[in-house]
């Protein structure tokens, strides 16, 4: 019988022994200590009969206790439903939909407690998976375009991608744990003997301090956070010279942000990552640090383009949605909804299909408008979107956050003039709104693009 992916990773982690595994609250925790914690959890779970088929909410953020618990649950063939403490508004609905009947809470000081939950029976998809006695992973999509979809993954299938050894990194754990990008980052750190750097918050100040204190060399993050980082004052006084690689994903990168990032981090490799919760994270290779063009695919992934939309087929795809219809066709392909342009082996992402604004019959990309406005020297972040209009169908609204305080009228007049110089008449926003920076992103530091004004 072939060795499971989780057993392979745990064996490898034992071999890393005295390497530092985690940087948490100013202290480093070795792989040896992490394995001891995993073994301790395994005994604890066995004592509570929380093993094969148990559906358990892990309510916590990155920490030694949380990370060791996740590996112990995978080893015990339990089904892990990840929920971070910041996700308070959706906690009750998510737990009810997954049918989890156990919960382990880990607080900010890394203390834990166990409890049971009174929930309805699990959905049929999960019940069928339980009968197969496999370790599972439950996540929810962000729900930015409607109701959040509940996703069930086969944990061993997800981990299979990490069996082949690769380079290790000292990685800032920026992407949230209860979304696939964050979980993928966690696995990639420990599978390759890297250092997982925990942060108290996703503020620019906290991230800069964590990089300095731990000599982090990899920052996986979002274009929106990078805008805030580059527009901050603290970046001018922070020593971020240890950073060798910056990876970005989850949303479109403005070319203006990419250019500024290369100027600030001339010695770092900057790469575009791509993945979906339903399919996993694809291997990517950017044409260069300054280029938005990227190769995507890798072992276990196939891609094709239909009508400028990217489709993906993956061996690490989810088991399925348990609260929504399947989005896979009969051959296992899924439309990502992402528009792309092709140049040989490379693609350039053009945004979501939903990012198109129909103004008087002309299709306008919100990113084209944002790119122009972002060239203003005092613009920190910008979000362009369409609102209904009786005459034109839709008109464009631009919400703008400024780096430095400025009279709103003066800023709006200058930005409108810039748009008139660079954009055709129908692409010029009908309204400009100056908004607070914190209203421009969600908890994942992903841009909020309203659907109405």
Cα four-point dihedral sign 448, 444, 151, 365: positive
pLDDT band at 146 (very low <50, low <70, confident <90, very high): low
The answer to whether residue 374 sits within a structural domain is: yes
Q: Which helix (H) or strand (E) holds 16?
A: helix 5-16
The answer to whether residue 298 sits within a structural domain is: no
Name the domain count of the chain.
Answer: 2
The answer to whether residue 128 sits within a structural domain is: yes
What's the pLDDT score for residue 306?
A: 93
Nearest alpha-carbon partner for 399 in 323, 451, 322: 451
The answer to whether residue 353 sits within a structural domain is: no
The answer to whether residue 238 sits within a structural domain is: no
For the segment 361-389, the average pLDDT, to the nearest whole number, is 90
What's the pLDDT score for residue 143?
A: 53
The model's pLDDT over 381-391, given as tens digits with 9 standing for 90+, comes to 999 999 988 88
For the segment 318-322, the average pLDDT, to the nearest whole number, is 94
List of residues 6+ apart from 344 with CB closer than 8 A = none
The model's pLDDT over 213-257, given as tens digits with 9 standing for 90+, comes to 999 999 999 999 999 999 998 999 999 999 999 999 878 888 888
The answer to whether residue 311 sits within a structural domain is: no
Kind of pairing between the strands at 356-359 and 346-352 = unpaired
pLDDT band at 453 (very low <50, low <70, confident <90, very high): very low
What's the pLDDT score for residue 304?
A: 93
Q: Of 138, 160, 182, which residue constitutes the final position of a domain?
A: 160
- CATH code for position 410: 3.30.300.30
Higher-confidence residue of 311 and 288: namely 311
What does the block give as tokens for 57? 């909410």
* Strand ranges in 239-289 using DSSP code E only, listed in sequence order: 245-248, 269-272, 274-276, 280-286
Q: Of 117, 139, 160, which residue constitutes the final position of a domain?
A: 160
Q: Provide the percentage of residues in the chain whose pLDDT is more than 90.
A: 67
Q: Which domain holds residue 136?
A: 5-160
Nearest alpha-carbon partner for 414 in 405, 406, 425, 404: 406
Kind of pairing between the strands at 27-30 and 20-24 = antiparallel
Residue 67 has pLDDT above 70, yes or no: yes
List of residues 6+ apart from 6 with CB closer than 8 A = 71, 74, 75, 135, 155, 156, 159
What's the pLDDT score for residue 356?
A: 87
SS3 107: coil
Q: What is the mean pLDDT of the chain?
A: 91
The answer to whether residue 333 sits within a structural domain is: no
- CATH code for position 40: 3.40.50.980
Taking the C-alpha atoms of residue 312 and residue 305, their distance in angstroms, rounded to an integer, is 9
pLDDT band at 77 (very low <50, low <70, confident <90, very high): very high
pLDDT band at 452 (very low <50, low <70, confident <90, very high): very low
What does the block give as tokens for 348? 């350039």
Taking the C-alpha atoms of residue 49 and residue 102, their distance in angstroms, rounded to an integer, is 11
If you write DSSP's letter for every residue of 193-249 in order, what string do you get? Answer: T-EEE--S---HHHHHHHHHHHT--EEEE-HHHHHHHHT-SGGGT---TT--EEEE-
Per-residue HEC secondary structure of 296-359 comes to: EECCCEEEEEECCEEEEEECCCCCEECCCCCCECCCCCEEEEEEEEEECCEEEEEEEHHHEEEE
Q: Could you give the angle at which helices 64-75 and 180-191 cross, rounded to 10 degrees?
A: 90
For the segment 285-313, the average pLDDT, to the nearest whole number, is 89
pLDDT band at 28 (very low <50, low <70, confident <90, very high): very high
What does the block give as tokens for 19? 């390497």
Taking the C-alpha atoms of residue 278 and residue 262, their distance in angstroms, rounded to an integer, is 31
Residue 362 has pLDDT above 60, yes or no: yes
Q: Rounded to whole angstroms, what are the CA distances from 174 to 95, 218, 222, 441? A: 24, 10, 9, 15
The answer to whether residue 107 sits within a structural domain is: yes
CB atoms within 10 A of CB 295: 17
SS3 123: coil
Nearest alpha-carbon partner for 243 in 203, 270, 274, 206: 270
DSSP 3-state helix, strand, coil percentages of the chain (rounded to 5)? 30, 30, 40
Q: Of 160, 176, 196, which residue constitutes the final position of a domain?
A: 160
What's the pLDDT score for residue 2?
A: 63
The model's pLDDT over 11-21, given as tens digits with 9 standing for 90+, comes to 999 999 989 99
pLDDT band at 285 (very low <50, low <70, confident <90, very high): confident
Residue 37 has pLDDT above 90, yes or no: yes
> Which neighbouring-strand residues pair with 82?
58
Taking the C-alpha atoms of residue 221 and residue 169, their distance in angstroms, rounded to an integer, is 15
The model's pLDDT over 117-135, given as tens digits with 9 standing for 90+, comes to 999 999 999 999 998 888 9
SS3 398: strand
For the segment 155-179, the average pLDDT, to the nearest whole number, is 94
CB atoms within 10 A of CB 255: 15
List of residues 6+ apart from 308 with CB closer than 8 A = 339, 340, 341, 350
Taking the C-alpha atoms of residue 242 and residue 268, their distance in angstroms, rounded to an integer, is 9
């Amino acid at each position: 019988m072939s060795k499971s992916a989780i057993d392979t990773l745990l064996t490898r982690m034992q071999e890393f022994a005295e390497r530092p595994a985690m940087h948490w609250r100013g202290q480093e925790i070795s792989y040896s200590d992490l394995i001891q914690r995993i073994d301790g959890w395994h005994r604890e779970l066995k004592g509570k009969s929380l093993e094969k088929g148990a559906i358990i909410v892990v309510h916590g953020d990155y920490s030694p206790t949380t990370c060791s618990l996740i590996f112990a649950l995978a080893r015990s063939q339990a089904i892990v439903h990840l929920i971070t403490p910041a996700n308070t508004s959706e906690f009750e609905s998510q737990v009810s939909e997954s049918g989890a009947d156990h919960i382990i809470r880990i607080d900010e000081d890394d203390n834990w407690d166990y409890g049971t939950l009174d929930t309805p029976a699990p959905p049929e998809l999960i019940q069928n998976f339980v009968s197969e006695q496999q370790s599972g992973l439950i996540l929810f999509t962000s729900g930015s375009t409607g109701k959040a979809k509940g996703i069930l993954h086969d944990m061993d299938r997800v981990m299979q991608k990490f069996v082949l050894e690769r380079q290790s990194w000292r990685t800032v754990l920026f992407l949230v744990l209860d979304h696939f990008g964050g979980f993928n980052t966690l696995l990639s750190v420990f599978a390759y003997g890297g250092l997982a750097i925990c942060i108290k918050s996703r503020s620019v100040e906290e991230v800069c301090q964590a990089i300095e204190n731990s000599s982090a060399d990899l920052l996986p993050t979002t274009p929106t956070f990078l805008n805030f980082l580059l527009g901050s004052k603290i970046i001018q006084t922070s020593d971020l010279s240890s950073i060798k690689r910056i990876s970005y994903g989850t949303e479109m990168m403005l070319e203006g942000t990419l250019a500024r990032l290369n100027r600030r981090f001339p010695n770092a490799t900057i790469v575009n990552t791509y993945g979906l919760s339903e399919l996993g994270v694809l291997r990517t290779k950017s044409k260069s640090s300054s280029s938005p063009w990227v190769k995507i695919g890798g072992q276990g992934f196939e891609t094709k383009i239909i009508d400028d939309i990217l489709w993906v087929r993956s061996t690490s795809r989810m088991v399925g949605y348990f609260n929504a219809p399947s989005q896979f066709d009969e051959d296992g392909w899924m439309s990502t909804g992402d528009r792309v342009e092709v140049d040989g082996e490379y693609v350039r992402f053009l945004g979501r299909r939903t990012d198109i604004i129909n103004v008087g019959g002309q299709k306008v990309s919100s990113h084209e408008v944002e790119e122009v406005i972002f060239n203003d020297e005092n613009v920190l972040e910008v979000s362009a979107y369409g609102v209904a209009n009786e005459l034109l169908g839709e008109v464009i609204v631009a919400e703008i956050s400024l780096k430095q305080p400025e009279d709103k009228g003066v800023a709006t007049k200058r930005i409108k003039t810039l748009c008139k110089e660079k954009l055709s008449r129908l692409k010029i926003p009908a309204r400009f709104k100056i908004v607070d920076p914190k209203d421009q992103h969600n908890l994942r530091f992903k841009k909020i693009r309203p659907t109405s004004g």
